[in-house]
């Protein structure tokens, strides 16, 4: 491992009481006041996260649409201009290289927001597969900083710092070249918490001033700085997957129960299509399910899952849900144990604790 | 941060209050503060015996599960069952809410433990 990376917001962590840890090669705050109060603030008011570690890769050129259609499993052509689409890069064997958001400017220009831990892998992947496509690929990850403002009060807070009418911006849409707090920025309406919210991408030199200003205008409305801890519990409760937990090089989107985002009927061939098609047609042997603990114990990432007295799978994410107060999780299990109501057991240290497969819509 | 005089403290942030052949063991105020909201305490069984430094309980916050190590060797004679239903009691008062009562095996070896003053300095330098 090389030297840990720091975002342009590094200096604010200490000023706002952040507790800094190593995450995906970055020094980032796991929490400020505390995971649970931050989680609740996002559900009830608003929270602000440094998401500068996320990677930015641009794809431009006359073959950009054809290249994207070949690279990803979703149907890029179905997205309108200035729309955001969730998708995956898959390997030929169907395993997930990364999951990310495509910001579509138009059919010739795309911005991909990818996982921090996968930036180098992704950039190598698009270059390896570029072939004869006439596209220009750039990794601009160093040039952007970003703040995610999340929670029901987000619009009200951000509207104080920009002239564009945020109420007119629909979910999964973005606008570039917007002025926010006097700086040029890209603003999108989306997030990773299950709440309404925005992501604001801007230059490294402007991000500290925006962070301080957001807090100044938002704190009376309940806005708090939030860390990676709350980011994980929020996304988990909202049934949003995380690369490294629900997705890996050897887990396909169908196995990850993300089939909705795999468009096998799109015309273009894409990497992994054949394997995914077979899985869809009945060759799927395992998938990720949601479960709730029936006995005492908190499921955690990596714990064994048992059924009929033997180990059959593993927990991908588990928590005591701050919103629901229940012990819940996600687990990879053989398809015969995937039906709602199926009894499972989770190995919590020395004890096998009873659990049951439930709907993944934890928050209803 | 609260530190109680008369207790011994370990580098892993357990406290032990020794009274003759018995001892009460818990985690420090500093430990509960670092863990955040405690949502589960896995208690040992009465009768379990542990060596010094062995994990005898687990305290879980939303963030993570943390082992609790026994600062002195002994046998569990009582557990704080109130923590079963109300693990947050440790957040409210980490010293009043002990985890287990221990019958010491022989004389307690406290040579590697800290008194209140030394522990205060240890936490400040951490």
CATH number, domain with residue A193: 3.30.1360.120
- Residue A81: domain span: 55-141
Distance of alpha carbon A202 from alpha carbon A185, whole angstroms: 5
Confidence of residue A157 (pLDDT cuts 50, 70, 90): very high
Tell whether A337 is covered by a domain.
Answer: yes
- Give chain B's domains with CATH numbers: 8-109 (2.40.50.100)
**Residues A21 and A155 grouped into a single domain:** yes
> Of A285, A360, A282, A280, which is closest to residue A328 (Cα–Cα)?
A360
A94 torsion bin: left (phi>0), alpha (psi -120 to 50), beta (else): left
Asked if residue A181 and residue A127 are part of one domain, the reply reads no
pLDDT at residue A158 above 70?
yes
Is A5 inside a domain boundary? Answer: no
Q: Where are the alpha helices (DSSP H) in A33-98?
A: 35-44, 64-71
User: Residue A276 domain-assigned?
Assistant: no
Within a domain: residue A247?
A: no
In this structure, are A104 and A151 located in the same domain? no
Examine the fold and report which residue of A141, A171, A203 is the final residue of a domain before the chain moves on: A141
| Per-residue pLDDT tens over the stretch A45-81 | 999 999 999 999 999 999 999 999 999 999 999 999 9
Q: For residue A349, give the nearest of B58, B63, B64 by CB distance.
A: B58
Rounded to whole angstroms, the Cα distance separating A89 from A66 reads 14
**CATH number for the domain harbouring residue A87:** 3.30.70.1400
Q: Please, is B30 exposed, middle or buried when counting C-beta atoms within 10 Å of its C-beta (0-12, 13-18, 19+)?
A: buried
Q: Does residue A325 share a domain with residue A223?
A: no
Name the helix (H) or strand (E) containing A329.
strand A327-334
Listed residues A117, A141, A165: the one ending a domain: A141
C-alpha span between A277 and A275 (Å, rounded):
5
Pair A155, A161: CB distance under 8 Å: no
Interface test with B, best of A18, A36, A228 (most B CBs within 10 A): A36
CB contact under 8 A, A35 and B58: no
How close, in Å, is residue A321 to chain B by CA atoms?
A: 8
Which residues, listed in sequence order, are joined to residue A291 by a DSSP beta bridge?
Answer: A329, A357
Shared domain check, A167 and A37: yes
pTM here is 0.94
Tell me, yes or no, whether A116 and A78 share the same domain.
Answer: yes
Cα separation of B15 and B119, whole Å? 10
Mind listing the pLDDT tens digit for each residue in A88-108? 999 999 999 999 999 999 999
The whole-chain average pLDDT of chain A stands at 97
Q: Is A245 on the interface with B (CB under 8 A)?
A: no
CATH classification of the domain holding A301: 2.40.30.110
pLDDT for A294 equals 98
Tens digit of pLDDT for each residue in A19-50? 999 998 999 999 999 999 999 999 999 999 99
Tell me the three state secondary structure of residue A263: coil
Residues A41 and A154 in one domain: yes
The reply to whether residue B42 touches residue A349, judged by beta carbons under 8 angstroms, is yes
**A243 lies in a domain?**
no
Among A114, A141, A168, identify where a domain stops: A141
Q: Do A169 and A25 lie in a common domain?
A: yes
Across the interface, of A233, A296, A349, the residue whose CB is closest to B62 is: A233
Size of interface A-B (CB pairs under 8 A): 36
Tell me if chain A has a CB within 8 Å of the CB of B62. Answer: yes
- Euclidean distance between CA atoms B57 and B67, whole angstroms: 6
Q: How many structural domains comprise chain A?
A: 3
Q: What is the pLDDT of residue A212?
A: 98
Q: Using the beta-carbon criterion (under 8 Å), do B62 and A322 form an inter-chain contact?
A: yes
pLDDT reading at B9 higher than 60: yes
Q: Is residue A202 one of the residues assigned to a domain?
A: yes
| pLDDT in the model for residue A243 | 98
Instruction: Give residues 69 to 98 of A whose Cβ lies within 8 Å of B.
Output: none
Average pLDDT over residues B23-41: 95
* Cβ of residue B63 closer than 8 Å to a chain A Cβ: yes
Compute CA distances A359 → A233, A290, A330, A363, B98, whole Å.
17, 6, 10, 10, 38
Query: Which of B30, B36, B38 is the mutation pick for testing A, counting most A CBs within 10 A?
Result: B36
The per-residue pLDDT for range B36-49, each reduced to its tens digit, is: 999 999 999 999 99
Is A163 among the domain residues?
yes
Mean pLDDT score, A193-214: 98
Whole-number Å distance between alpha carbons of A286 and A313: 9
A35 with A59, same domain: the answer is no
pLDDT(A176) > 90: yes
Rounded CA gap, A148 and A143, in Å? 17
- Chain B partners within 8 Å of A353 (Cβ): none
- Is residue A275 one of the residues assigned to a domain? no
Give burial (CB, 10 Å; 0-12/13-18/19+) of A239: middle
A152 and A233 fall within a common domain? yes
Q: Does residue A148 share a domain with residue A49?
A: yes
My answer on whether A320 and A343 are in the same domain is: yes
- Measuring CA to CA, which residue among A291, A307, A337, A39 is closest to residue B63? A39
* Segment (H or E) for A155: helix A154-159
**Residue B107's Cα: distance from chain center in Å?**
18
Tokens (6 digits) for A314: 């593993």
Residues of B in contact with A31 (CB under 8 A): 36, 63
| B48 in contact with A, Cβ within 8 Å | no
């Amino acid at each position: 491992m090389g030297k840990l990376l720091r975002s342009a917001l590094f200096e604010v962590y200490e000023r706002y009481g952040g507790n800094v840890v190593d995450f995906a090669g970055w020094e980032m705050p796991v929490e400020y006041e505390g995971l649970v109060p931050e989680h609740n603030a996002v559900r009830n008011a608003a929270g602000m996260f440094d998401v500068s570690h996320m990677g930015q890769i641009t794809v431009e050129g006359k073959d950009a649409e054809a290249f994207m259609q070949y690279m990803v499993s979703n149907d890029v052509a179905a997205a309108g201009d200035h729309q955001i689409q969730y998708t995956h890069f898959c390997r030929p064997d169907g395993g997930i290289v990364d999951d990310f958001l495509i910001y579509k400017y138009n059919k010739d220009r795309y911005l991909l927001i990818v996982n921090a831990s996968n930036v180098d892998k992704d950039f190598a992947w698009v270059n390896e597969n570029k072939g004869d496509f006439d596209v220009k690929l750039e990794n601009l990850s160093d040039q952007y900083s970003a703040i995610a403002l999340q929670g029901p009060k987000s619009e009200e807070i951000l509207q104080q710092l920009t002239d564009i009418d945020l109420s007119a911006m629909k979910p999964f849409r973005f606008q570039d070249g917007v002025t926010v707090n006097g700086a040029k920025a890209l603003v999108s309406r989306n997030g990773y918490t299950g709440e309404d919210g925005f992501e604001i991408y801007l230059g490294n030199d402007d991000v500290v001033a925006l962070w301080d200003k957001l807090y100044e205008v938002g704190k009376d409305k309940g806005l708090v700085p939030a860390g990676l801890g709350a980011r994980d519990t929020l996304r988990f409760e909202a049934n949003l997957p995380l690369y490294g937990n629900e997705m890996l090089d050897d887990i396909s989107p169908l196995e990850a129960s993300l089939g909705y985002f795999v468009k096998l009927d799109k015309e273009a061939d894409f990497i992994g299509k054949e394997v995914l098609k077979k899985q869809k047609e009945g060759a799927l042997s395992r998938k990720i399910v949601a479960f709730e603990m029936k006995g005492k114990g908190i499921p955690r990432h990596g714990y064994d899952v048992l059924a009929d007295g033997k180990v059959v799978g593993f927990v991908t994410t588990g928590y005591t849900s701050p919103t629901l107060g229940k012990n819940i999780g996600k687990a990879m299990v053989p398809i015969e144990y995937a039906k709602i109501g199926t009894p499972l057991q989770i190995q919590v240290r020395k004890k096998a604790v009873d659990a049951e497969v439930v709907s993944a819509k934890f928050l209803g | 941060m609260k530190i109680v005089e008369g207790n011994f403290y370990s580098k892993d942030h357990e406290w032990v209050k020794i009274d003759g052949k018995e001892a009460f063991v818990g985690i420090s105020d500093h430990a509960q503060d670092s863990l955040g909201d405690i949502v589960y305490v896995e208690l040992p069984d009465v009768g379990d015996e542990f060596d010094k430094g062995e994990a005898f309980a687990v305290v879980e916050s939303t963030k993570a599960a943390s082992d609790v190590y026994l600062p002195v060797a002994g046998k569990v004679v009582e557990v704080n069952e109130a923590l079963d239903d109300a693990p947050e009691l440790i957040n409210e008062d980490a010293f009043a809410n002990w985890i287990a009562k221990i019958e010491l095996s022989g004389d307690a070896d406290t040579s590697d433990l800290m008194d209140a003053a030394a522990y205060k300095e240890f936490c400040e330098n951490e």
